[in-house]
Amino acid sequence: MENYRKYLDPRTLAKLQGLELRARSIVEGYVTGAHKSPYHGFSVEFAEHREYVPGDDLRYVDWKAFGKTDRIYLKQYEEETNLVAYLLLDVSESMTYKSDDAAMSKLDYARCIAAALTYMVLQQQDGVGLTTFDREVRAMVRPSSHPTHLKQMLHVMEASASAAKTSLGPIFHDLAERFKKRGVVIILSDLFDDVNSLLAGLKHFRHRRHEVILFHILDPAELDFPFRNMTLFKGLEALPELLVDPPGLRQAYLAEFEAFLKSVRQGCHARNIDYLQLRTDQPLDIALSRFLAARMNRVK
C-alpha cells in the first residue's frame, strides 16, 4: 500500500457513510452533485496536462502530446459541479508539533481530515482542490471531481512540510482573489498568527461569497499545559528556546490561550463562519462525523 494512504482511515470513512458536505447557500455550478444550483445544464472544460501515474485511466492519455514528446501526459478536465470545496492546509513548522499524549502531529491530524473530506466530496461527485501554505502558497491543486483526483491530492498532502512561519491574513487575501468560483473554503490550521490579520483574511472569503469552515487543530498540551518540572521549550517558527518553571507560568498561559480562542470563536461567529476546535488526542472520525451530521441538519 502506498505510504500516503495512511491518511485514509477506514474507521473514519465508515463513519462518514451517508454524510455529505453541503453548502448552506446556493452555490455556483451545475447538477452533477447533490446541491441546489442557480444554473441548469452541464459542461466539462479542459484544464491542463499532468504526467501519467501508474494506475491512471488510459482513456485520458493525450496521444498527440505523446507523439511529440515521447512522454505520457493525461488531459485533466475541470468539471463544473454544484459544489467546489477548497481545502487549505497549513504546513508551517508549528503544525509539526506532537506532545507525548497525542497519537500524531497536528499536521498529520489535519492531513487525515483533508484526506477524508477529499474522499467524501469526490464520492458525492463534487469538486475539491487543495492549497498548502505557510507564509506563502507552497502547492496548489486545481479543483476536480474526477475519481482519480484523490491520488494526486494525497500525494501533495504527503509531500507537504515546512520549517517556515505562517502568515494567515495575507495568504487568505491572496487566495480569496484566486478562487473565482464560489464554493466552500475549508481551512485546517492551528491559527498561530495575529488574530486581527487572520479575521480580516477570513472576512475577505466571505466578501467573495464563499462559505468558510475552520478546523482549528490543537495539541492537547497546548490546551492543557500539563508540564510540571523545569522545562526547556524549543521555539518553532523562528522563536527562541525558553527555559521556564511551568507551575509558575501555567495560570497566565491558560488565561492568555483562552483569550486567543475566544477571539477566534467570536470573530468566526460574527462572520457566519463554521468553527470547530479539534484536539489531536480526539478520535477524528467521531468529531468529523458529528460536525458534518449537524451541518447537514442545519442546511436541509
- Which long-range contacts does 53-61 make (Cβ < 8 Å, 24+ apart)? 53/151, 53/152, 55/148, 55/151, 56/148, 56/151, 57/148
Classify domain 3-21+83-299 by CATH architecture. Answer: 3-Layer(aba) Sandwich (3.40)
Given a cut of 80, is residue 46 above it in pLDDT? Answer: no
Q: What is the pLDDT of residues 59-103, one digit of tens each?
A: 778 888 888 888 887 776 544 446 899 999 999 989 999 998 888
pLDDT band at 236 (very low <50, low <70, confident <90, very high): low
Residue 170 main-chain phi, psi, to 5 deg: -60, -40
Provide Rg for the chain, Cα atoms: 20
Q: What is the pLDDT of residues 138-158, one digit of tens each?
A: 999 999 988 888 889 988 988
pLDDT at 215: 95
Helix axes 106-123, 284-299, angle to 10 degrees: 40
Among 97, 178, 179, 192, which Cα is nearest to 135's?
192
Q: Are 35 and 127 in contact (CB under 8 A)?
A: no
d(CA 215, CA 116): 13
d(CA 289, CA 127): 20
pLDDT band at 32 (very low <50, low <70, confident <90, very high): very low
pLDDT band at 283 (very low <50, low <70, confident <90, very high): confident
Distances (CA, A) of 280 to 179, 226, 240: 29, 15, 25
Distances (CA, A) of 159 to 88, 91, 108, 167: 15, 10, 11, 20
d(CA 165, CA 81): 35
Q: Where do the H-state alpha helices sit in the chain?
A: 10-15, 63-69, 106-123, 149-159, 168-178, 195-207, 220-224, 246-270, 284-299
Q: Are 291 and 111 in contact (CB under 8 A)?
A: no
pLDDT band at 44 (very low <50, low <70, confident <90, very high): very low
Q: Are 263 and 274 in contact (CB under 8 A)?
A: no
Q: Residues 65, 61, 7, 17: what is their CA dihedral angle, to the nearest 10 degrees?
A: 150
pTM: 0.76
Q: Are 8 and 123 in contact (CB under 8 A)?
A: no
Tell me how long the chain is: 300
Domain ranges for the chain: 3-21+83-299
